Amino acid sequence: MSQNKTIVCRCEDLTLEDIRELIKKGYKSVDEIKRISRCGMGPCQGRTCRDIVLSELAKAEGKDISELKMSTFRPPVKPVKLGLIERGEE
């Protein structure tokens, strides 16, 4: 299997090739890539793909990962069962 076909975001079925192509098209932040591809918006909320996307952006920009802006977190950060929300506080 080619390295470019490596799955980066299992929730949205995005490959390393997909992420690199978005970066080549000019998307320069995790939030931009998230908006255009839904990467990091699945059930894992980016726990498995966010670091890989940051790494690819850093490589493309010639920067250290610490220099890049982390993506915006929006609740729920962890998956919540609807039944818990429906019942409210107990």
The pLDDT of residue 75 is 65
The pLDDT of residue 6 is 92
- pTM, whole model, 2 decimals? 0.74
User: What is the residue whose two structure tokens read 């039944």?
Assistant: 83
Task: Reduce the DSSP state of residue 1 to 3 states and report it.
Answer: coil
Domain count, the chain: 1
Q: What would the DSSP string read from start to end of 2-57?
A: -GGG-EEETTTTEEHHHHHHHHHTT--SHHHHHHHH-TT-STTTTTTTHHHHHHHH
> Which CATH number does the domain housing residue 15 bear?
1.10.10.1100
The pLDDT of residue 90 is 59
pLDDT tens for the 90 residues of the chain, in order: 456 789 999 999 999 999 999 999 999 999 999 999 999 888 888 888 999 999 999 999 999 988 888 877 666 667 778 888 887 765
HSE, side-chain direction, 13 A CA sphere, residue 71: 27
Q: Which domain holds residue 45?
A: 3-87
Alpha carbons 30 and 14: distance in angstroms, whole number: 14
